[in-house]
């Protein structure tokens, strides 16, 4: 009986129609998937732009989503995806890790831990990284030694293979929406006692050290701070439950739109890392006072749609500029001219929104998760076809060269004080 059981374990039925990897690829043999032939045959097909790929499921390359918390399909753990040029099977079932047909493993950056990676890495598999979050979520990926583990990337950087730079901007219409509170009403709220500047932040002590800068700015201009960081004013009782929400609550939006200026400081200072902190004030018709992406000017609606902190030599100089703008309705209104379509003059922004194949809250387009897996699917099919052609005629067809990510796909500068030199910071400053 023991002998029979041992044979069952080492020679399972490969319901995916694929042999396990050779011992040259891995020193440890792992059993194949426990999916039955019937379950495999019933794998459904996910949306896609369509292609002419005639292969049945058991001939398609497999993409394995490694994170246990992320699989962009529902229900089940396996799906066929028909992409622009080819098709793949995608799954979250780790039992297929050692399949010869498992061509790529897709990792979610926030969950990626080197000590949990599927090692030894197999020579026939690529690794893909999806990481839309701030670099502070996983600093390893901002270093060359971390990012070079991956062959394909989808990050906030424009240099990544599948850029997510404008992920927090749903559409052009989001910017064009009329100002929530007209300037005349904002001025009345100023006369009633509101500060010109709003600060709403409850995530303190972040790598950008934004609170240190805001604290210095508060010495020179009045700022109403409602969050947990540098709090100096309570929210109205009816907003207490929404203070840490997405900010899309109607009453919350109406309240913060009363302010003429919003401090918009990201938690990390990285090229192309721009979040709702920038786009939401513009959506509401408020002027963002921004620090974050050093390349933000490449993406703004025009050259006077935000005030950039790094354009000023000191918080005092910035405060004087804001005070002058607060007293000059005509000049202030120039910062809201992008609400007129003809005043959005940044071609990079317009082309970026027009050309991206994924959508934000747009059911007519795939989301960026499905878009990225189709990107990987098409690239893997191209790679496998090139390898097959090389094996068939190595003299005529060169072997495809390995592709590796680099620091430009995710890299960020080292953190530094939000204000002043590091030598001036008290050693006991937490």
Query: In the chain, where are the structural domains located?
Result: 14-166+365-409, 172-353
First to last CA, the chain: 64
Q: By the 8 A CB rule, do 354 and 361 touch?
A: no
In this structure, what token pair is assigned to residue 407? 């620091």
In this structure, what token pair is assigned to residue 212? 């240190």
Other C-beta atoms within 10 Å of 377: how many?
Answer: 28
In this structure, what token pair is assigned to residue 413? 């500068």
Report pLDDT for 355. Answer: 94
Report pLDDT for 47. Answer: 46
Report pLDDT for 40. Answer: 45
Report pLDDT for 430. Answer: 60
Report pLDDT for 79. Answer: 93
Omega before residue 77 within 30° of 0, cis: no
Report pLDDT for 428. Answer: 74
Tell me the pLDDT tens digit for each residue of 411-420. 999 889 999 8
Interatomic CA distance for residues 305 and 289, integer angstroms: 10
Interatomic CA distance for residues 247 and 332, integer angstroms: 24
Strand pairing class (45-46; 78-82)? parallel
* E strand spans, 16-60: 45-46
The segments of the chain whose pLDDT lies below 50 read 1-42, 47, 243
In this structure, what token pair is assigned to residue 167? 């992920």
Q: What residues have CB less than 8 Å from 336, skipping those under 6 apart? A: 179, 183, 285, 287, 305
Dihedral sign (CA 116, 119, 123, 124): negative
CATH node for 172-353: 3.40.50.11660
With 0-12 / 13-18 / 19 or more C-beta atoms within 10 angstroms meaning exposed / middle / buried, residue 190 is: middle
């Amino acid at each position: 009986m023991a002998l029979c059981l041992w044979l069952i374990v080492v020679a399972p039925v490969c319901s995916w129609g694929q042999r396990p990897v050779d011992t040259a690829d891995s020193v440890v043999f792992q059993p194949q998937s426990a999916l039955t032939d019937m379950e495999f045959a019933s794998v459904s097909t996910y949306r896609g732009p369509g292609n002419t790929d005639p292969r049945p499921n058991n001939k398609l390359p497999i993409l394995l989503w490694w994170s246990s918390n992320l699989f962009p399909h529902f229900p089940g753990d396996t799906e066929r995806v028909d992409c622009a040029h080819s098709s793949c099977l995608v799954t979250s079932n780790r039992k297929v890790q050692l399949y010869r047909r498992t061509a790529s493993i897709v990792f979610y950056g926030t969950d990626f831990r080197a000590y949990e990676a599927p090692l030894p890495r197999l020579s026939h598999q690529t690794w893909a990284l999806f990481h839309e979050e701030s670099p502070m979520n996983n600093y390893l990926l901002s270093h060359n030694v971390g990012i070079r583990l991956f062959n394909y990337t989808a990050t906030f950087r424009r240099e990544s293979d599948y850029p997510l730079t404008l992920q927090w901007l749903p559409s052009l219409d989001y910017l064009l929406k009329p100002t929530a509170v007209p300037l005349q009403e904002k001025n009345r709220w100023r006369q009633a006692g509101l500060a010109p500047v709003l600060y709403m932040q409850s995530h303190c002590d972040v790598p950008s050290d934004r609170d240190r800068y805001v604290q210095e700015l508060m010495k020179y201009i009045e700022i109403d701070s409602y969050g947990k960081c540098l709090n100096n004013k309570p929210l109205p009782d009816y907003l207490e439950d929404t203070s840490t929400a997405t900010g899309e609550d109607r009453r919350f939006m109406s309240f913060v739109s009363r302010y003429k200026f919003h401090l918009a400081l990201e938690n990390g200072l990285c090229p192309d890392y721009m979040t709702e902190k920038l786009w939401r004030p513009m959506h509401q018709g408020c002027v963002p006072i921004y620090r974050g992406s050093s390349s933000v000017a490449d993406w703004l609606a025009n050259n006077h749609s935000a005030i950039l902190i790094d354009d000023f030599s000191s918080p005092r100089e910035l405060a004087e500029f804001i005070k002058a703008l607060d007293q000059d309705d005509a000049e202030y209104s120039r910062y809201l001219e992008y609400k007129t379509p003809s005043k959005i003059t940044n071609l990079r922004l317009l082309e970026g929104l027009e050309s991206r194949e994924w959508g934000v809250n747009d059911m007519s387009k795939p989301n960026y998760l499905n878009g990225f897996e189709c990107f990987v699917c098409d690239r893997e099919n191209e790679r496998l076809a090139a390898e097959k052609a090389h094996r068939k005629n190595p003299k005529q067809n060169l072997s495809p060269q390995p592709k590796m990510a680099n620091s430009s796909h995710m890299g960020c500068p080292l953190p530094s004080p939000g204000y002043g030199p590091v030598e001036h910071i008290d050693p006991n400053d937490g």
